[in-house]
Structure 1
Amino acid sequence: MIFNSQVENKLFERGWFLNGEIKFTAPVKPVSSQNNSEQKQLFRKQIHQITTQSEFIITGTCWVAIDYYCQHIRRQKNPGVYDMDNIVKPILDSLVGINGLILDDVLVDRVTVNWIDTPHDDHIEVEIQYPDLIFVKKTDLVIIKSDSGWCWPVSQQLLTLDGFSEMAKRNFNTWDSIKSEDDYYALVYMLPIQPYLYFSKIKDKNYTIVDLSSLDAQTS
């Protein structure tokens, strides 16, 4: 199987992201969550050779579909064949972060995985759907962090808008005030469509973090 990086790169153009669906092929054999860290790091590096070509990163709710192509006889006659559920986490881990395509896997609401027979070498196809069309250019991504630890991913361009600081503080106050399901449905119309994430989920992913309390200085 031949991998054409120029073809894959076109799939990561802004026009494709606006369709709410990104799909790419990786000419790699998946690893298991039970493999050692060195094997998983190598697999992540192989995926990143593809995903780093994307200028954009998904910051909203998304669904991931994984197709694992492997010849029938290699799968059925292999005593050490990977369980399908064990290949999911290494793939998701390789998709998140600034070198991936998704801000964090907490945003993934659904994962489907299939094995498909092929006469060719092992490879995987990954499809990501994000119905809310929420994505941002990686170089423009800023994470606003509140004192409560909740974070709001936005485009850096928003920080220059008049009144943005006050709007952000109001949104965080609304989010922090939610204590129950009833609260959520009573206030959800006041919240941005962009989901909030907790700081501990993204703190080690090399994102640019801006404290909410410093926004006035950032926007002045």
Structure 2
Amino acid sequence: MSKEKWDRNRLFLSSGELEIVINENPVSLQASRRKKDIITSAICKVTSNCEFMLTDDVQIYIEWWIHEQNRYETDSSADVDNIIKPILDAISGPDGILINDCQVQAVDCRWLDFFNAEQRINIRIKMLDRDGWLLKDGLFFMHMWNGLCYPTWMDEENPENTLLIVEQMERMLMLRDERLRQKENYYLAKMLMPVQRIFHISRIKGFPVFKVEEIKDKIKAILKNQR
């Protein structure tokens, strides 16, 4: 990563928090696709500039700034509980900052009186694990088995490193599954796995996904060309 890119993201990784501020009205879960796309576009203008994808659990804090009169004396403002899902969807996926909103461990959502007629949304994303991130550039998922996919990063300069990770992850998941077949407690078996979270394939839409053997063949081809 270049020094410029690192400088843009260093504060986020060191603080463990990212704040997104958009000057748009929040929309409810029942809103039209067009209205939801406005929120998604505004949020992605911020998240697409982040070079990292969070891969572990997070907590989300949402503040909706709206004039009290608009909140109470009109029928156009959404319910507080209904504005959460469109926001979580917008921060998830390849252009977002999360793989999937299943990573959200807790949400705090509230509206606050705002003297300005224009509404505003403040979204704060707090990492629960400072090491729970990967570079977006080169990010892909290994499709293991049983629909389980492991996120990792293609090291173009040293592809041997990626190959080692792929082979190690394959061994660890096999050991874990063997313990589960022996009726061992899930949490004890989980200790055989790396810290990096594994995802079900249904939760990684839009990301590059390769089967393990495909990845191995790709890396071996890269190594062959480098010789």
Q: TM-score, normalised by structure 2?
A: 0.83
Compute the displacement of 1:188 (Å): 2.3
Deviation readout 1:148-195 (Å, 9 max, x if unpaired): 210111122285326333211112224444379952221222111111
- The reply on whether 1:214 has 2:210 as its aligned counterpart is no
Larger radius of gyration: 2
CA contact (8 A) 1:152 1:196 kept: yes
Higher mean C-alpha displacement, 106-115 vs 165-174: 165-174
In structure 1, the residue corresponding to 2:191 is in which secondary structure?
Answer: helix
**Residues 13 and 180 of structure 1: is their aligned pair in 2 closer, same or farther, counting only changes over 3 Å?**
farther
Compute the displacement of 1:95 (Å): 0.3
The amino acid across from 1:130 in the alignment is: M
Equivalent position of 1:109 in the other structure: 105
The amino acid across from 2:216 in the alignment is: D
The amino acid across from 2:195 in the alignment is: I
**Residues 179 and 85 of structure 1: is their aligned pair in 2 closer, same or farther, counting only changes over 3 Å?**
farther
Of 183, 186, 189 in structure 1, the residue corresponding to residue 188 of structure 2 is 186
Deviation readout 1:113-141 (Å, 9 max, x if unpaired): 01111112211111111121211221121
Equivalent position of 2:170 in the other structure: 169
- The reply on whether 1:75 has 2:93 as its aligned counterpart is no
After TM superposition, the structure 1 = structure 2 runs for residues 188-207 of structure 1, keeping only pairs within 5 Å, are: 188-202=190-204, 204-205=205-206, 207=207
Q: Distance in 1 between matches of 2:150 and 2:111?
A: 36
Q: Distance in 2 between matches of 1:181 and 1:127?
A: 40
CA contact (8 A) 2:20 2:43 kept: no
CA contact (8 A) 1:159 1:218 kept: no
**Residues 198 and 156 of structure 1: is their aligned pair in 2 closer, same or farther, counting only changes over 3 Å?**
same
CA contact (8 A) 1:171 1:190 kept: yes
CA contact (8 A) 1:136 1:155 kept: yes
In structure 2, the residue corresponding to 1:147 is in which secondary structure?
Answer: coil
Equivalent position of 1:36 in the other structure: 32
CA contact (8 A) 2:176 2:192 kept: no
Q: Which blocks of at least 5 consecutive residues in structure 1 are unaligned?
A: 1-8
Root-mean-square deviation over aligned CA pairs: 2.4
In structure 2, the residue corresponding to 1:92 is in which secondary structure?
Answer: helix
Equivalent position of 1:126 in the other structure: 123
Corresponding pairs, count: 210
Compute the displacement of 1:147 (Å): 2.6
CA contact (8 A) 1:59 1:107 kept: yes
Q: Distance in 1 between matches of 2:80 and 2:33?
A: 19
After TM superposition, the structure 1 = structure 2 runs for residues 134-153 of structure 1, keeping only pairs within 5 Å, are: 134-153=132-151
**Residues 174 and 105 of structure 1: is their aligned pair in 2 closer, same or farther, counting only changes over 3 Å?**
farther
Q: Which blocks of at least 5 consecutive residues in structure 2 are unaligned?
A: 221-227
**Residues 11 and 83 of structure 1: is their aligned pair in 2 closer, same or farther, counting only changes over 3 Å?**
farther
Q: Distance in 2 between matches of 1:181 and 1:197?
A: 22
Compute the displacement of 1:142 (Å): 1.4
Compute the displacement of 1:12 (Å): 5.5
CA contact (8 A) 1:65 1:126 kept: yes
CA contact (8 A) 2:142 2:209 kept: yes
Equivalent position of 1:3 in the other structure: none
The amino acid across from 2:48 in the alignment is: T
The amino acid across from 1:90 in the alignment is: P
Higher mean C-alpha displacement, 207-216 vs 114-123: 207-216
Equivalent position of 1:65 in the other structure: 61
Equivalent position of 1:24 in the other structure: 20
**Residues 166 and 50 of structure 1: is their aligned pair in 2 closer, same or farther, counting only changes over 3 Å?**
closer
